[in-house]
Amino acid sequence: MQNRQKAINLLGLAERAGKLTTGTETVITETNKGKIKLILLASDVQANTAEKVDRVARKNNIPMINSFSASEMSKAIGKKRKVLGLTDAGFAKALVKRINEGV
């Protein structure tokens, strides 16, 4: 549970550092431009949104995480969002590490 909180805190940090792209269409656009290193998709996102984001992630070979609910993600970054894209490889790596340590 602690690593889950650390991962959520890391999202807030990435947002404040300007290393986070938010919103479905923006994340898809930035992914296609090769700027996104990791996509976070809310676990409770609508099926059509999940499918659209998943297709772009696979096409561009971008890892995707859907371990957090929309409310957890929104709370972490201070705005209501269901799709987030990390643009920094360091943040992406750190987040994956926290999640793999046991969310």
CB 11 within 8 A of CB 21: no
- What is the pLDDT at residue 74? 96
CB 102 within 8 A of CB 96: no
Taking each helix axis as running N to C, give the angle between helix 2-16 and helix 70-77, from 0 to 180 degrees, rounded to the nearest 10: 50
**The tokens of 66 are what?**
């859907």
Q: What is the CATH number of the domain that holds 76?
A: 3.30.1330.30
What is the mean pLDDT, run by run of 10 residues, along the chain of 103 residues? 86 96 97 98 97 97 95 95 97 92 65
- What is the pLDDT at residue 100? 84
- What is the pLDDT at residue 91? 95
- What is the pLDDT at residue 1? 61
- What is the pLDDT at residue 102? 65
Range of the domain at 14: 2-100
Overall domain count for the chain: 1
- What is the pLDDT at residue 48? 97
